[in-house]
Amino acid sequence: GMKKNGKIKVVILCGGRGTRLGNETDSKPKPMIEIGNRPMLWHIMKIYAHYGLNDFILCLGYQGWIIKEFFLNYVAKISDVSLQLGDKNFATYHTSNDEADWKITLVETGEASQTGARVWNARKYLKDCDIFSLTYGDGVANIDIAALLDTHKKSGLAGTITGVHPTGRFGEMEIQGNLISEFNEKPNVSMGLINGGFMVFNSNVINKYFKEGEDLILEDEVLGKMVKDKQLGVYQHKGFWHCIDTPREYSILNEMWKNNKAPWRVWQENV
């Protein structure tokens, strides 16, 4: 049965290649591009975990094994380790980590699946939650996840998208009050809000708006239908938001991190 306040799971789309990024991502899935010495994906997870959302479903595609490997070896990667070679349980890890309570389900959602298909292919891991968050593996923001969830719950709508003010180039949406009335993924002019990820959905959207088939595109078909049904709301995030699409953006975010001026670092470091 549905728990009244089922746990909110965080679904992250990790299947894409970073085609426009050149060498940095030749053999890496895009979310594994590093800011500092941690993948972009880790940074996104840290934002959610800061707000108490630490049950993750990672939708894998291109080079999914690299992401599996990262988390399978996570503790070893970040800790001091003592090894006793020749002993089955040969490793002792000496460093405690802030991520110890993260629960991560890594789902192979298809090498070439589109965004909507990835969510559909991970649906069995969403059975026990009433609400799920969904975001892209390449965008960070100093977003107030608690306020986003609150906005979603109060709206009574089936889904809520975080609208951000971009630096240019992406799809824009028109809003009336708090309801999205039009949604163009790739417009010619961008003055308005764009879909910055950090979306929230009631779980029943899966059976209502998603369907079988690897060509199902979240942005066109799923969100488009929800807009027609007047079921898609917007949470306006006026603060920092940035994604990595070009080598220049990659440099900007790494520079910010290096200079301790990374606005998306909403969590406290355990130093």
Using one digit for the tens of pLDDT, what is the confidence trace for 84-108? 998 777 888 888 889 999 999 999 9
pTM equals 0.88
pLDDT for 155-214, tens place per residue? Answer: 999 999 999 987 544 455 666 778 887 776 654 444 578 899 999 999 999 999 999 999
> How is residue 24 written in tokens?
């940095």
Least confident range from 30-39, 184-193, 259-268: namely 184-193
Share of the chain above pLDDT 90, in %: 69
Looking at per-residue confidence, does 219 or 24 come out higher?
Answer: 219
Instruction: Find all residues with CB under 8 Å of 203, minimum gap 6, and list them.
Output: 6, 126, 127, 129, 130, 131, 132
Q: How far apart are CA 123 and CA 185, in angstroms?
A: 24
Is the torsion defined by CA of 113, 242, 265, 261 positive or negative?
Answer: positive
Amino acid (one-letter) located at 106: L
With H, G, I as helix, E, B as strand and everything else as coil, classify residue 82: strand
Arithmetic mean of pLDDT, 13-29: 77
